[in-house]
Amino acid sequence: MLKPNPIHLIHVKPACEQCRVRELCLPTNLKSQDLSLMDKLVVRREPLAKGEFLYRAGEKFKGIYAIQDGAVKTYGLTVDGREQVTGFHISGEVFGLDAIDGEVHPCNAVALEKTEVCQIPFAKLEELSMEVPELLHNLSRIMSREIMREQHVLLMLGGTSAEQRIARFLLNMSQRYADQKLVSDRFRLCMSRQDISNYLGLALETVSRQFSQFQERGLIDIQNRYVQIKQFSLLKQVAQ
Amino acid sequence: MLKPNPIHLIHVKPACEQCRVRELCLPTNLKSQDLSLMDKLVVRREPLAKGEFLYRAGEKFKGIYAIQDGAVKTYGLTVDGREQVTGFHISGEVFGLDAIDGEVHPCNAVALEKTEVCQIPFAKLEELSMEVPELLHNLSRIMSREIMREQHVLLMLGGTSAEQRIARFLLNMSQRYADQKLVSDRFRLCMSRQDISNYLGLALETVSRQFSQFQERGLIDIQNRYVQIKQFSLLKQVAQ
DNA sequence: CGACTGGTTGATCTCCATCAATCCCTGTGG
DNA sequence: CCACAGGGATTGATGGAGATCAACCAGTCG
């Protein structure tokens, strides 16, 4: 089996059928013919560079987004103009669902590293959902999952110490890599300490200190943004 | 098939067509004939008494719920067994959407006062959505709204003082009464101080003290669970 | 090679959790 | 109907976790 010209692969993203994270995304369980209908909807853009915005708060809503590769941060602005991170999204995850109701994006989405996203125009997706029951169900499930995700954030934040929050945060990231069948005990944090602290409602310094402390205790190994979880059971215990 | 017993009418809640909160719920913008199809899906139960559970974590998911009148609290359990309130739901609001993905309720729902709810069996709702585009769209919108609602909670909690959180909480409740076209400057808090504090990630005493302080400053008037917001603009300023 | 961004570590102070005492609705039963 | 119990709410006193201020260090990029 010869593959003489790999060049065409450089910018063209894999179709849904070949996509690595297909099982986490909208096309799960779709029959082959429906999959290709779905595939036709998807708008695949050039990869986003780090720091590039996918959309900004106030922009008109066109469609929802799925990440093929990379990571995106979404954040809103509080009334006093402060930035509040509402989520980190990695490959296989779908986001932008918060804009469906108002048809305007209520928050900003920015790439944390080089990122490949698929845009799925929502009006067309709704149309196709009327034809394909599995797709309708997948859409419901993905939205439900997003609601649960945010509830988990509340559980993570609720009435807990900085130590617990950070332990839970690390375990949560780890789990999400595991969901993708990637190594889950060694990964690169795609966001800055600043972003983590903002997300967890802590000071940047507290996050840094806690990482150092976990390292001293032998729970993790952390070099800049590279983390290795060395003692899962102990870390879980810390997280309670 | 005889149904001689008119008793069943005693507790029958208004059909969707007559429902006070119809415009906030799934039937918005439905044509009359579709509305009656929708109406046939709805299961209307006996009103729940205060403290009664609508569902418990782990129970199989049957359908989503809409509140006609009353209030419900949803809460999850953290890994260490602590209770964490994830939301308060008042009339016109739809909840239980977090159970769609896993087909199991991830949290508990308990009535905070005498409450009338409609259950909407989800499988049937999905079926009907395939026929009625407006319904599909309403479902998407309601789920999107729920995602936004939870993001707002994050914004409310994020990096703010107890004073700000409580001001925001009051304004948020007020807004939700306004959405229902009810008086929004005078209402009864349907939940205990304990619940509020848990929800906002504060100590019960802090909530109580802050209420007293707002009262002293003339921002609100609070007697037990009855609140009157006296200075909207100032309260908004405090909330930033 | 400096300038800069992002991260670590240290010192201090403050806000809020915690502990504790008291008050006050609500509802229940004699 | 009233008294009494018990949970819900308020208020006070104290300590500590974590925010804030500040200095320093390490990659990285023009």
Q: Supply the pLDDT for residue B3.
A: 42
Burial of residue A151 (CB within 10 Å: 0-12, 13-18, 19+) is buried
Those residues of chain A that have pLDDT short of 70 are 1-13, 159
Q: pLDDT averaged over chain B?
A: 90
Q: Which residues touch strand C (CB under 7 A)?
A: A 192-194, 204-205, 207-209, 211-212, 222, 224-225; B 161-163, 201-203, 205-206, 224
**Domains B9-145 and B158-239 agree in fold:** no
Give the C-alpha distances (Å, rounded to integers) separating B85 from A105, A142, B60, B199. 27, 23, 20, 5
Contact A213, A192 (CB under 8 A): no
Residue B14 pLDDT > 80, yes or no? no
Contact B65, B94 (CB under 8 A): yes
pTM: 0.90
Say what the pLDDT of residue A218 is. 93
B81: left (phi over 0), alpha (psi -120 to 50) or beta: left
Distance from CA of A33 to the nearest CA of B (A): 19
CATH architecture assignment, domain A9-145: Sandwich (2.60)
Structure confidence at residue A240 (pLDDT): 81
Compute CA distances A53 → A19, A40, A108, A158, B55, whole Å: 23, 24, 7, 30, 41
Give the class (CATH, top level) of A158-239. mainly alpha
Gap between the terminal Cα atoms of chain B: 62
Distance A149 CA to C20 C1' (A): 39
Q: What are the extents of the domains in chain B? A: 9-145, 158-239
- Can you give the pLDDT at residue A3? 43
Confidence band, pLDDT 50/70/90 cuts, at residue B67: very high
B82 contacts A158? CB cut-off 8 A: yes
pLDDT of residue B18 exceeding 90 = no
Residue A195 near residue A85, CB atoms below 8 Å = yes
